[in-house]
Structure 1
Amino acid sequence: MTSSPPDARTKLVIAALTIAAFAIGLDTFVIIGALDVISRDLAISTGAAGWIISIYALCYAVFAPLNAWMFKATSGHNIQILSVSIFIIGNLICAIAPNLLTLAAGRVISAYGAAMFNPSATALAAELLPPARKGFALSLIFGGMTVSQVAGVPATSWIADAIGWRFSFGFVVIAGLLALIIFAPMMSGIAAKVPERGNGPISKGLSRSIYGILSVTLFIVVSEFIVYSYVTVFIIGSLLAGVPLLSAALFAYGFGAVTGNAACGVLTDRFGPYKVLISVVGAQLILLVGLVAFGQHGALTVLIAFFWGNVSYMYLVPIQHRLLGLAGDRSKLVLAMNSSTTFAGIAIGAFLGGILVETSGVTSLAAASILIGLIGIGLAIAFMRDGAPAEAATAAYPE
C-alpha cells in the first residue's frame, strides 16, 4: 500500500462498502425501535422482547471469529456478497414470523450474514487507503452504520407504530437488496488479499495487549447497551411539536452519531486513539445518566440524545485503530474478534438491562451503566494509553 491518494475505483469500492454497512447497521438496530410494538403483538414482556436483541448479538459474537477462521482463504468479494444475501434471507423470515421462536430463528440467520460482512469490510477499507488515513477509512464504514441510525432507526420505529413491526423488517430487506444491487458489480475484480497465516487455534499467537483492548470494548459496549436497549421504556409520554418524543430522540441520536463519526476519524488520526477514547467514553457515561433522568422532558431529552449520539460511535474507531496497529498480518481475525466482543457486549447489556427493568426499574439502568463504564475506562488507561505495551500479534503456531 502506497501513500498516494486513492483513485476513483478505490473511492467507489469504499462507497459501496459504506452502503452495505448502512443496510447491515439497519438490521442490527431494527428491534430497538420496535421493541414495545413487538412485545404487545407477540404477547410477551418487554424484557423478553429485549432478549431478541441478545439472541442476535450473541450469535454475532460466536459467528464473527468463526467465520473469519473458516473463510480466511476466501476472497473478500465472495464473502461480502454472500453475507449480504444471507442477512436479506434472515430478515425476510423475521418479516413473516408468526411467533417468537420464528423471529428468533430469523435473527440468528441475519446475525450470521452480518458477522461475515463487517470484519471483512473493515479490513478491506483499511487496506485500500494509506496508513495515515486509517482512522478515516474506518470512520467511513462505521459511517454507514451511523447513517442507518439517523434514517433507519427512527423510520423503523415510526413504521412499527404506524403499520406494524413486520413492515420494519420489510424496510430492512429493501435496504439490503438495494445495497446488494449496487455493491456486487463494484466489488468485481478486486484483488484478494493474501490469506492470513495459520491453521492452529483461532486466537493462538495474539498478544496480551490485544486481549486487554478487547476487554475495553466489552465493558464500554455493555455500559451503553444496558441503557440503549430500553430507550422505549423511559423515553415516553410527552410530544415535541406534535412528533412522538421517542422518534425525535432516536433521530437526534442518529444525527449526532453521524456528525461524531465524521469527526472521529480525523481526531483519531490527529490526536491518537487513547485521548479520543477516554474523552468520549467519559462524556457518554454522563449523557447516559442524563438520558435516564430526563427521558420525559421534551426538547431537553432530544438535546441529550443528540450529544449522546455524538459520542456513542466515537469509541469504535480508536479501538479498531489501535487493534490494527497491533494485529500485524492477522488484522481480519483481530477485527472479527473485536466485532464479536462488541456484539457480546450488546447481548450482555440487553440481557442485564432486561433483568434490571423487570426487577428494579429504569433508574437502575443508569447506576449499572456508570459502574461498568468506569471499569471500561480503567482498562483503557491500562491498555490503550500511549505508553501501554504494543506487542504485535505473533506467529507462534505452525504454518
Structure 2
Amino acid sequence: MPGTRAVLPVTPLLAVGAFAIGTDTFVVAGVLPEVARDLDASLADAGWVSTLFALTYAVLAPVLGALTGRLERRRVLVVSLTVFAVGNAASALADGLGTLLAARVLTAAGAALYVPAASASAAALAAPERRGRAMAVVLGGLSAATLAGVPFGTWLAADLGWAATFWLLAGLGAVCAVAVALGLPEVRLPAAPGLAARLAPVRDPRVLSTVLTTLAFMTGGYLALTYVGAVLAPATDGDGGVLALLLLVFGVFAVGGTVAGGRATDRFGPAPVLSAALAGLAAVLVTLPLARDSLTTAVVAMAAWGVTAMATQPPQQHRLFTIAPASGPLLLSLNSSATFAGISLGGFLGGRVLSHGGTDGVDRLGQFGAALVAAGLLTALTGLRTRAPSHTDTGRTSPEPARSPADP
C-alpha cells in the first residue's frame, strides 16, 4: 500500500511536536498568577500573554501557510520548531511583561507554521484510505497536551517557577527539530503555478463554510471551557485537586475522541462524523447546568465534552485537504487560524456573559456556547451541500497528493 510504511513511524514523531505546541498554548493559564507576581503586573495585564499568543497564531497561520506552501515540508517543519524553541527560550529569559509578550509573538509564529505543515505532511505520506487516521495522530498530540503536558507544566511552574516551564518547552522544541530533520523523509506537495493559484481555493465556498464552522464551534466550546472552574464549582466545591481530576477526564477522552474521529472519518467520510460530533457537543454544553451539581454528573459531562469536542477536528482537516491538496498547507492553516481565533473569542465572550449575566451568568455560558455550536452545525450542513464553483481551479483538485520520493 503506497505510503503506509512511511507514515507509521513518522506521524507519531510529528505528534510530539504538536504535543509541545499544545502544551505551550494551554499551560499559560496555569502559570499566569506566577507570571503576574514575578513581573509585577496585574493578572488582567498578564492575561495578554495568552491572548496575544492566540491572536498572533490566528493571524499568522494563513499568511505563513501561503508564503511557504511551495516549500518542501521537512524544511518548513524544522524551521518552525526552531523558531518555537527560540521563542520559548526568550520567554524564559524575559525580565518584563513587554519582553515576554514579544517572545510569545515569536513563539506563536513558530507554532502557526508547524501544525498545518505537520498535518499536511501526515496526509501526504498516508495512503488515501488512512489519511484521516494519519491526521488524527498529529492532532492527538494537541489532545495529549491537555492530558499530560498542561498538568505537568503547571506543576513545574508552581515548584520551580514559570521560567522552568518555558525552558522545558524550548528543549522539547529543539529535540523535535533535530528528530524531524533526521527522521522525516522529504515531503513535496503538488505544486500550484504560483501564489494566485494557491490562493484560488480560498474563494471556494466549501472552504469558507468549513472555516466558519470551525470558528463557530471553537468559540462556543471555549466560551464555557475557559471558565470551567466556575462552571463546575458546585461539583468540585472549589477544590483545585478535584478540578484537575475532571480536566484529566476531559483530556483522556479528548485523545479518544481524536482517534475515534479519525477512524470514523476514514470509514464513513467527514460529513456524518462532523455532524454527529457537533450535535453531541451542543447537547453537552446545553445540559451543563444539569451536570454541575454533582461530581458523578460532572465526570460524565467532561468525558462526553472531551470526545465530542476533539472528534470534530479530523473530519474538518480531511475535508479541507481533499478540496485542494496543492493548497493543503494554506487551507489547513486557515482552519488552525479559525481554531485559535475561536479560543480567543470564546474567552472574551465568556467574560462578557459572566460580567452581564448576573447570578445566572455561569449557567448561560453553556447555553450560549451550545447556540454557537448549533450555528456551526448549520453552517457545516449548508457547506456540505455546496458544490465546487466550476470557474475555480482548486489547485488540481485530485484528492491524491504527490508522494514523497521516500515512499515505496
Verify: 1:371 aligned to 2:371, yes or no. Answer: yes
Q: 1:23 aligns with which of 20, 23, 27?
A: 20
In the aligned structure 2, how far is the partner of 1:293 from the partner of 1:85? 46
CA offsets 1:72-101 (integer angstroms, 9 cap, x no match): 332211110110111112222223334433
Question: Does residue 195 in structure 1 map to residue 191 in structure 2?
Answer: yes
Sequence identity percentage: 31
- Which of residues 123, 126, 129 is equivalent to 2:126? 129
One-letter code aligned to 1:88? A
Cα distance change, pair 204–121 in 1 and its aligned pair in 2 (3 A): same
Give 1:133 deviation, angstroms.
Answer: 1.3
CA distance change for structure 1 residues 40 and 92 in 2, over 3 Å: closer, same or farther? same
Q: Structure 1 stretch 256-265 or stretch 287-296: which is displaced more?
A: 287-296
Residue pairs, 1:94-243, within 5 angstroms: 94-187=91-184, 189-200=185-196, 203-205=199-201, 206-236=203-233
Q: Tell me, in whole angstroms, the C-alpha distance in 2 between the residues paired with 1:68 and 1:132.
A: 25
Secondary structure at the residue paired with 2:192? Answer: coil
Greater share of residues in helix = 2
Partner of 1:395: 393
1:223-247 CA deviation, whole Å, 9 max, x = no partner?
111122233444458769x970222
Instruction: Report the CA distance between 1:364 and its aligned residue.
Output: 3.5
Q: Tell me the residue number matched to 1:383.
A: 383
Q: Distance in 1 between matches of 2:290 and 2:159?
A: 28
1:260 is aligned to 257
Deviations 1:310-336 (A, max 9, x none): 121111111111112222422222111
User: Alpha carbons of 1:159 and 1:328: their partners in 2 closer, same or farther (altered >3 Å)?
Assistant: closer
Indicate the SS of the match to 1:74: coil
C-alpha contact 2:197 2:394 (8 A) present in aligned 1: no
Aligned-residue offset at 1:127: 0.9
Secondary structure of the corresponding residue to residue 70 of structure 1: helix
Cα distance change on mapping 1:366 and 1:169 into 2, 3 Å: same
Aligned length: 390
Post-superposition Cα deviations, 1:10-57, rounded to whole Å, max 9, x if no partner, equal: 322222212212112212211233345545655666655544333112
2:392 is aligned with what amino acid? T
Q: What is the CA RMSD across the aligned residues, in angstroms? A: 2.9
Is this contact kept in 1: 2:59–2:337, CA < 8 A? yes
Distance 1:392 1:123 in 2: 25
Distance 1:53 1:293 in 2: 30
| Cα pair distance change 1:107/1:356, threshold 3 Å | farther
**Cα 1:102/1:321, change in 2 over 3 Å:** same
Q: Which amino acid aligns with 1:287?
A: V
Relative to structure 2, which stretch is displaced further, 30-39 or 208-217?
A: 30-39
Whether the aligned pair in 2 keeps the contact of 1:90 and 1:107 (CA below 8 Å) is yes
Letter in 1 for 2:387: P
Q: CA deviation at 1:193?
A: 3.2
